[in-house]
Amino acid sequence: MIGGAVVILLICIALFALSIRRPQWGVIAIAGLLPFHGLLLITPLSMNSWKEAAVLAVLAACPFARRVGSHRTVVAPWIIPLILLIPIGTVSAIAAFGVLAFFPLKIAFFYVLLPLIVMMFPFDRADKDRLVSVLLGAGVVAASYGIWQQFVGGAALVDLGYEWNVHIRSAGPIMRSIGTFNQPFPFGLFLMLVIVVATAAALAEPHRLRSKFFVAVFPVLAAGMLLSVVRASYIGVAVGLVAVGVLLSRRFLVRLLITFCVAVPVVLTFAFLSGSDILRTFVSSSSLEERGGHWSVNIPLVLSQPFGAGLGTTGSSAAKVSEGHDPSSPLYQPDSNYMKILLELGPIGLAAYALIVGLMVLTLTRMIPHTPDPLERGLLAGGASVALAACVAAFFATYLEIFPLDAYFWLLPAVAASTSRKVRDRVTGRQPASRPRILER
């Protein structure tokens, strides 16, 4: 306990000192550290709250940080409906849990602080470049660790400190890799995010060393995601890559189609030769049928509660406060973010989230033709594509409750939308737009 508190304090001091020089560096450091939170499971340190403390340390440094220039801004109209949604969620959580509303509010909205920091200190091109490199590096380390887990097996992971059916899970005969995370879902979905963002950056600057490195390590990232057996990540990465191609390069879409036509038969052949049980694991529709059964049961509840049952009344939020709230009530773990929002905040809450995501994607895509720098165009396309991939994955997972995907969901659009005032004026129509050339189509 004391050792963990000391480490958290040291992390906060380091981030505070770094952020006084440049808060953007503090945000990048947090983005690079978040994927390794799951490794705390195999250490003796008790420091689960380090991530919240780290964000607060960077935020605390902002008033003392020196603003270098004022030519950058963040185009984020989606922040307006988000600000309106927060008090609605606050009232809903207080009505449901009283003083315990802190927990569901933290899970739902805490990482909104990250885009607020970015809005105060917008990222420049160099900051964006560092963030892409940090995400790619974290993805390679996490994927490599996940592949290693398949070689050593579950017994060795238990010896390290992981637990069966809590952290280590299986799908049919396959042990699901968790990488540096605590469960397969955040592992697979994080690699989905890394692949989409890194692909967009590589298309924007194909001759850079980092782009060539990404091509070289792509099999590692893809294998790690495949071994997580998170089918939501498979569908999400497909949607995200298609979106990147549409926004940046139609030639990439042709290459993607050819790759798909070659890869699918190879994967299916390997699965067939490995055993019919493995093949059934990947193509099984049982989980989708189970979700359909849950949805059919809960749709009447949505219709009977148009304003929802209260923020945090399902999922991990409910599990967190159940002991102090009502332990006799059965907890429902929704397997879809849309169903979760409908049950907790009703159709109004779902409409608010849809407006937020819609504005995110629309703003980022509108900025692409007005942005002259290739890397910044690539990150705009990557941010929009990740948001679309998240929307698809959210059908099959409570995406915004899965750490650290919730943090990246709010952070990436704000970082990508950090731009010059000239581009901001063009996008908002304050002056005539001149459309620069973008990647070949």
CA–CA separation, 308 and 92 (whole Å): 8
Contact by Cβ (8 Å): 59, 12: no
Q: Where in the chain are the domains?
A: 1-68, 69-428
CA–CA separation, 36 and 40 (whole Å): 8
Q: What is the pLDDT of residues 94-146, one digit of tens each?
A: 988 888 888 889 988 999 999 999 999 999 999 999 999 999 999 999 999 99
Question: What is residue 289's predicted lDDT score, i.e. its pLDDT?
Answer: 53
- Rounded to the nearest 5°, which phi and psi values hold at 337? -65, -30
Q: What is the pLDDT of residues 224-253, one digit of tens each?
A: 999 999 989 999 999 999 999 999 988 888
Q: Determine if the pTM surpasses 0.85.
A: yes
Question: What is residue 250's predicted lDDT score, i.e. its pLDDT?
Answer: 83
Task: Label residues 376-388 b or e (16+ Cβ within 10 Å = b).
Answer: bbbbbbbbbbbbb
Which residue positions in the chain have pLDDT lower than 70? 1, 68-70, 267-268, 270-306, 320-332, 430-441
CA–CA separation, 80 and 356 (whole Å): 8
Give the chain's count of helices (H) and strands (E): 18, 4
- Rounded to the nearest 5°, which phi and psi values hold at 122? -60, 150
Question: What is residue 132's predicted lDDT score, i.e. its pLDDT?
Answer: 97
Question: What is residue 433's predicted lDDT score, i.e. its pLDDT?
Answer: 47
Max Cα–Cα distance, the chain, nearest Å = 64
Q: What is the pLDDT of residues 272-305, one digit of tens each?
A: 666 555 555 555 555 555 555 555 666 666 656 6
Classify residue 430 by burial, with Cβ atoms within 10 Å: 0-12, 13-18, 19+.
exposed
